[in-house]
Amino acid sequence: MNIGIIGYQGDVSEHVEIFHKLSREYKRDIDPIIIKDKRYLKSISGLIIPGGESTTIYKFLKEYDLFEPIRTMVSWGLHVMGTCAGLVLISKDDPGSRVRGMNLLDVKIRRNAYGRQMDSFSEFIDLEGIGRFNAVFIRAPVIEEVGDVVVLAKHKGIPVMVRSERVLGLSFHPELTGDTRVHEYFVEMIGGEGYTSIPERKYTIEEFI
């Protein structure tokens, strides 16, 4: 299974290492691919949009014409996980923000609401279907409103991990602890099936990309 990781900025290498660890220790056939060009989207079954600076990642997604292809390919069956800044990018679009959301996840986000870099913290929280997990929050976004999503975890009553059918969003950084369970959960979401066949699709992936 090929998992793409948007590779312009942020915790790219950390996600890559987690997937390598899954492959080594748990004998999972997973190949992480750093994505900087939309041509590589056609070779992946899942995509990670990592934590980092959301305005920078957004700028490069638009500049290299990845923003709309990702939106379209999720409707075709691509699975996506967004962590921290990635959550901002997959959430509802906020016209008042410098970062346009992809509307892939029915949640409203407030950027950097957990504070500045100096306010970073980690805390053990319970993740549904995963268990007790050391969640690392760094300039994390707050999920202010939830719509048609499943809330998988909360911190002090606020949702911090939510899921729709093919999209997983987290306020925290699961890649910074060395714990592979969130990434394994994402792999299980994909199930090794790659794209779902959707009759309404007008183009093949090759024609679209």
Which positions are annotated as active-site residues?
Answer: 84, 173, 175
Which H or E element spans position 22?
helix 12-26
Report d(CA 207, CA 25) in Å as an integer: 37
> DSSP string spanning 33-56?
EEE-SGGGGGG-SEEEE-SS-HHH
Which residue reads 């691919």 in tokens? 33
Q: What is the CA 74 to chain-centroid distance, rounded?
A: 12
Report d(CA 181, CA 131) in Å as an integer: 9
Neighbours of 170 (CB within 10 A): 27
Question: What single-letter amino acid sits at 5?
Answer: I
**Rg (Cα) of the chain, in Å, rounded?**
16
